Structure 1
Amino acid sequence: MAVQNWRILIFSLVCMFFMSTGLAEAKGKESETYFVDVTAATLWSEPNHLREVDKPSASNPVALRKWTGTMTYEEKLGLVGKLETQALYGSEVTIIEEDGDWVKVAAHNQPTPRNDLGYPGWMPKVQLAKGNSYKNQLNRPFALITSPTAWLYEDKQTSEEFLELSFNTRLPIMKEFKNEILVATPSQGKKWLKKSDAAVYQDEKDIPAPTGQDVVNTGKKFLNLPYLWAGMSGFGFDCSGFTYTMYHSNGITIPRDSSVQATHGTPVEREDLKAGDLLFFAYEQGKGRVHHVGMYVGDGKMIHSPNTSTHVRIDDIDTSGYGEEYAGARRYIEE
């Protein structure tokens, strides 16, 4: 009987050892940083919610134009509430949960009260790269894509296309030439950009402080771009993804969602509005929950990405369909 007890004790200790080792590994994995390895990773509210039409968005590489271009209005409407956000090529995420081939990540630099690490959502793990060598290059100057979309190329002559990138993508610079930039990628080594598609900065602080009009002018690049729920790229924006990206590309990080954007910055009275101020709209004739945001352009007008049925456009505030829901404004740039 004593021998049997010793066997049980030894077995228990061995199990405890492997369990503690596994927990330590899992805990370590949760804190590991990965990098988005596709043009734009789409984050879902739950894993494995893909419809057949969504498969081009979940592969590596992705086919975002095919995905957004082949969906019917009803299929696009079906994304509402099922998508969380998007994260661009080369951006950092932290894995916080796993479910088979899917991982729940926090997308860095997308502030939200939902997670201190960044905006949370599920994505296929195949769209991520560990990118150890890439990570070592992040202290270098970087190229920020300023065209609505731009190609990465295999060669300096920019004749062989590798991957189409979104506006606001940032990649470390390995070498700079007169007309081209050699950049690092998360998993595919060095590739080439046309210098005309990007701005070069030493670090984030080197991005010039914008005026409100600068941010508005950035937004005008995307007029007529179709709306995409949770969109954060030059292939489609939702309302707060649009305002977030226009500010972020100008060196200012604001919260990801309109309801949170509405609680930061400086409150502004309607008669004092300036270009670049964010305008908020809420249910119950402006007294309920904030559900939409636009950017003031002047003359009583705003630029915004309204809803699934339309595109980025400039509307008169009062006749935009949101006028009766006006809930206030916030200023993120003090000039």
Structure 2
Amino acid sequence: MKGICQIPVIPCRAEPFDRSEMVNQLLFGETYEVLEEQDKWVKIKSHGDNYECWISKNQHADTSGHRDKKLIIAQKFSAAHHKDQSIFLPAGSIINDERSIRIDDKEFVLENEVVTKTPEDLDKLSRSFLNTPYLWGGKTFMGIDCSGFTQVLFRCVGYAIPRDAWQQEEKGSSIEFGDHKFGDLAFFVNKEGKVNHVGLLLSQNEIIHASGKVRSDKFNNEGIEHSDNGELTHRLHSIKRYF
């Protein structure tokens, strides 16, 4: 059985109960395979990145009658309206019409036409998320984690990368420090040497990343230097290029 996210965002949990950790989110239009059903929960595997998690059964929607979806919402969010109802689609949402979406036989008209973005747009797009609060497992303008941030940004410009930082680090081409440039991803490790953080390079000495909130900081050969107090907050592990 296949499913589709038909609301702006669905929380995805590690285990099938309400208090379980949120490890990911499905965005509008994302599809998935149903692996298992348990009481009021559905275990799924996302088609976009093969991420497995549990969602509430009352948020599951069957894909029957839905066309293949191709267009990406490539701005912080996009509002759509039907009479006195409104819906806000986060960046990375997948739709199949430039002007409207259909939910439960209701047509919601988008305020802005969908515009295709390219990697050159990453600077402006990423900065539009500045001050978005950090949220473990989050992928939207209401709350986002470091790898959710980079995954959504790359989707908006036509590149699919895995969900978690350590998975993203396994992809792309390795780049030596000094050869890095705008658009590369930098990865960082914890005290145990495990990759646990990622950010987007805006230049050779500036990085944007989600840490407490989406913020811009200084970048050097040691890692991330807090722009306010000069503290080294993240230790550099590697730099990868995807385009």
TM-score normalised to the size of structure 2?
0.88
Indicate yes or no: 2:214 matched with 1:315: no
Indicate yes or no: 2:42 matched with 1:42: no
Aligned AA for 2:207?
M
The alignment-based identity, stated in percent, is 27
Q: 1:300 aligns with which of 187, 191, 205?
A: 205
Looking at structure 2, the residues matched to 316 and 152 of structure 1 have their Cα atoms a distance apart, in angstroms, of 37
The corresponding residue for 1:195 is 112
User: How far off its partner does 1:289 sit?
Assistant: 0.7
Kindly tell me the number of residue pairs found equivalent between the two proteins: 235
Looking at structure 1, the residues matched to 58 and 149 of structure 2 have their Cα atoms a distance apart, in angstroms, of 27
Looking at structure 1, the residues matched to 200 and 100 of structure 2 have their Cα atoms a distance apart, in angstroms, of 35
Q: 1:144 aligns with which of 72, 77, 81?
A: 72
User: How far off its partner does 1:131 sit?
Assistant: 3.8
Looking at structure 2, the residues matched to 322 and 33 of structure 1 have their Cα atoms a distance apart, in angstroms, of 45
DSSP 3-state at the match of 1:270:
coil
The corresponding residue for 1:264 is 171
The corresponding residue for 2:196 is 291
User: How far off its partner does 1:252 sit?
Assistant: 0.3
DSSP 3-state at the match of 2:174:
strand
The corresponding residue for 1:13 is none
Indicate yes or no: 2:85 matched with 1:85: no
DSSP 3-state at the match of 1:241:
helix
Looking at structure 1, the residues matched to 12 and 216 of structure 2 have their Cα atoms a distance apart, in angstroms, of 28
The corresponding residue for 2:86 is 162
The corresponding residue for 2:182 is 275
Aligned AA for 1:256?
R
Structure with higher strand content:
2
Q: 2:182, 2:204 within 8 Å by CA — same for their partners in 1?
A: no
Mapping 1:97-246, distance limit 5 Å: 97-110=36-49, 118-133=50-65, 135=66, 137-138=67-68, 142-155=70-83, 160-173=84-97, 181-185=99-103, 187-196=104-113, 198-199=114-115, 210-211=118-119, 213-246=120-153
Instruction: Flag structure 2 segments of 5+ consecutive residues without an equivalent.
Output: none
User: How far off its partner does 1:132 sit?
Assistant: 1.6
DSSP 3-state at the match of 2:128:
helix
Looking at structure 2, the residues matched to 261 and 322 of structure 1 have their Cα atoms a distance apart, in angstroms, of 23
TM-score normalised to the size of structure 1?
0.65
Q: 1:252 aligns with which of 159, 183, 188?
A: 159
DSSP 3-state at the match of 2:34:
strand
DSSP 3-state at the match of 1:291:
strand
User: How far off its partner does 1:144 sit?
Assistant: 2.8
Rg larger in structure? 1
Looking at structure 2, the residues matched to 42 and 238 of structure 1 have their Cα atoms a distance apart, in angstroms, of 13
Runs (4+) of structure 1 exceeding 4 A deviation are 321-324
Structure with higher helix content:
1
Q: Write the deviation string for residues 309-335 of structure 1: whole angstroms up to 9, x where unpaired.
A: x210100124235556210100011xx
DSSP 3-state at the match of 2:136:
coil
